Amino acid sequence: MKITVIIGSPHGMRGNTGRLLEEVMVGLGATTELELLDLSMLNLQPCLGCDACHKSGICHLPDDYEMIKARLLASDGFILASPNYIFSVTAQLKALFDRSSSLIHCLALEGKYGAVAVTSGGADHDELLRYMVRYINSTGAQSVGTVSSFVTGRRSFPKQAELFEKARELGSELCRCIREQDHFPDQAGYRGSFKARMKRLVESRKEDWSFEFQYWQNRN
Ligand SMILES: Cc1cc2nc3c(=O)[nH]c(=O)nc-3n(C[C@H](O)[C@H](O)[C@H](O)COP(=O)(O)O)c2cc1C
């Protein structure tokens, strides 16, 4: 079982989000083949909106995006972790979201499972968690759950033992869902209608977006 872990904090694993993510990763267990991608250590530029990925399936910006995409495509599941930066994910993670526009048009991560970890300075996380889960669903994947907390100090959290247990449970739940190919009926409505919308969108642009049109022709 392969899991890709992506952290969008500029502090990488040394920060608060990294501390919470460590516990989620403990929950994955020793048998999981795990790849950690720390966006603060990678070169990931903002999307230029050039349309090349829709046309050719490849982004031509000379950075690490295609490597990250390949890792995601080769995984059974993935974890997204971010601190709350002004009601949203960090710019580092947003760059990845924007750059994955073609993955989203193709719902290319269908069949995979995602989980989310978030920390903040004090705000509630509902809006941010909804956004990150929506991203997961929009790639075609199913979300197995989220863990989030505000901080009480550097790498410390209120009710920490309870929180860390929840984080470890999220990690093991991600593995269980992959093993048992679990299904989340509450996400089926959104994923189904989004899939139909993306298929229609790509068909309407078939002259321009030849890669994506061909992709949809070759799948059910
Ligand atoms: C630029 C910036 C924006 C932030 N915006 C928010 C915010 O809108 N709401 C909030 O509760 N905390 C906010 N915070 C606090 C971080 O979410 C919080 O400290 C988080 O745990 C940092 O995680 P890290 O150590 O992994 O980077 C912000 C911090 C920074 C540096």
193: CB partners within 8 A, 6+ apart = none
User: What is the percentage of the chain residues whose pLDDT exceeds 90?
Assistant: 96
pTM score of the predicted model: 0.97
**Angstrom distance (rounded) from CA 106 to CA 211:** 10
Average pLDDT, the chain: 96
* Residue 119 near ligand 1, beta carbon < 6 Å: yes
For residue 27, the SS3 value is: helix
pLDDT at 59 over 70: yes
Rounded to an integer, the average pLDDT of 157-183 is 97
Buried b (16+ CB within 10 A) or exposed e, 186-215: ebeeebeebbeebbeebeebeeebebbbeb
Q: Is 137 in the pocket of ligand 1 (CB under 6 A)?
A: no
Question: Which atom of ligand 1 is closest in space to residue 7's alpha carbon?
Answer: 26
Q: What is the pLDDT of residues 188-216, one digit of tens each?
A: 999 999 999 999 999 999 999 999 999 99
The pLDDT, as a whole number, for residue 5 is 98
- Give the tens place of pLDDT for each residue, 135-165: 999 999 999 999 999 999 999 999 999 999 9
Lowest mean pLDDT among 27-31, 39-43, 144-148, 182-186: 27-31
Q: Is 114 in the pocket of ligand 1 (CB under 6 A)?
A: no
Q: In this structure, which long-range contacts are made by residues 33-36, counting pairs with CB atoms below 8 Å and at least 24 apart in sequence?
A: 33/1, 33/2, 33/3, 34/2, 34/3, 34/5, 35/2, 35/3, 35/4, 35/5, 35/71, 35/75, 36/5, 36/7
Element (H, E) at 137: helix 126-138
Centre of ligand 1 to C-alpha 55, Å, is 37
DSSP conformation class of 89: -
Q: Given a cut of 70, is residue 220 above it in pLDDT?
A: no
